[in-house]
Amino acid sequence: MKKDQLTELFKAIKFLKIGGHRIKIKYPFDFKEERKIGDSNCQEGLIRIAGKDCEGSVLSFTKLVAALLHEVFHFLDWDIRRDLFESENDDETAAKEDGLDALMEALLQLFVDNPRLGNLIQGLSKRK
């Protein structure tokens, strides 16, 4: 698929169902001066993903998907009330965020290297 087609595919995702909650996806979101490419507000049921990085460069499709999955995992963590990726200590939270980023990169690579794994997951949704 071409880059434009992938971006349009990403734009088509307006909502996700996460743990029984309907989560709105806002993309592209302009974070203005904030140095981030995504965030989530569990109370509002909202995930925001930037269209550009902090330097103003358009995000690659891989970065978009990784940012979305990162925020989805925050919602999952909130839904199951585990606090796996947050802490009262800012340094500890930063370390957990780095770990979550590494997990997202590894998960994406797993699906890229093993497309049949994605097919298996699609098969689960078709069983209904």
Q: Which of 4-18, 66-80, 114-128 has the lowest mean pLDDT?
A: 114-128
pLDDT of amino acid 17 = 94
Q: What's the pLDDT band for 49 if we cut at 50, 70, 90? A: very high
C-alpha–C-alpha distance, residues 50 and 16, integer Å:
17
Q: Where are the domains of the chain?
A: 3-121
Give the model confidence (pLDDT) of 66-118 as tens digits: 999 999 999 999 999 888 888 888 889 889 999 999 999 999 999 999 999 98
CA dihedral sign, ordered 70, 71, 73, 78: positive
